[in-house]
Amino acid sequence: MTISTIIITKNEEKNIAACIESAKFSNQIIVIDNKSKDKTVEIAKKHGAEVISEIFSDFSKQREEGLKHNRSDWIIYLDADERITPELKNEIEGILKSTNTEGAYKIKRRNFYFGTFQWTFYDNLERLFKKDVIKGWYGKIHESPVIEGSVGSLNNYIDHYSHSDLNSMLAKTIEWSDTEAQIRIDAKHPKMSWWRFPRVMMTSFLNYYIKQKGYKVGTAGIVESMFQSYSTFITYAKLWEMQNKKPI
* pTM score, whole prediction: 0.90
CB 116 within 8 A of CB 160: no
- 139-185 confidence digits (pLDDT tens): 888 899 999 999 999 999 999 998 788 998 998 899 889 999 999 99
Q: Where in the chain is the domain with CATH 3.90.550.10?
A: 3-162
Measure the CA angle with vertex 180, ends 178 and 184; round to 5°. 110
How far apart (Å, rounded) are the C-alpha atoms in residues 245 and 179? 16
How far apart, in Å, are the Cα atoms of 179 and each of 73, 161, 225, 228? 34, 23, 22, 17
CB 147 within 8 A of CB 64: no
- 75-117 confidence digits (pLDDT tens): 999 999 999 999 999 999 999 999 899 999 999 999 998 877 8
- 112-152 confidence digits (pLDDT tens): 988 778 888 899 999 999 999 999 999 888 899 999 999 99
Pairing assessment for the beta strands 28-33 and 3-9 based on DSSP bridges: parallel
Which one-letter DSSP state was computed for residue 25?
T
**Which CATH number applies to 3-162: 3.40.50.1580, 3.30.365.10, 3.40.140.10, 3.90.550.10?**
3.90.550.10
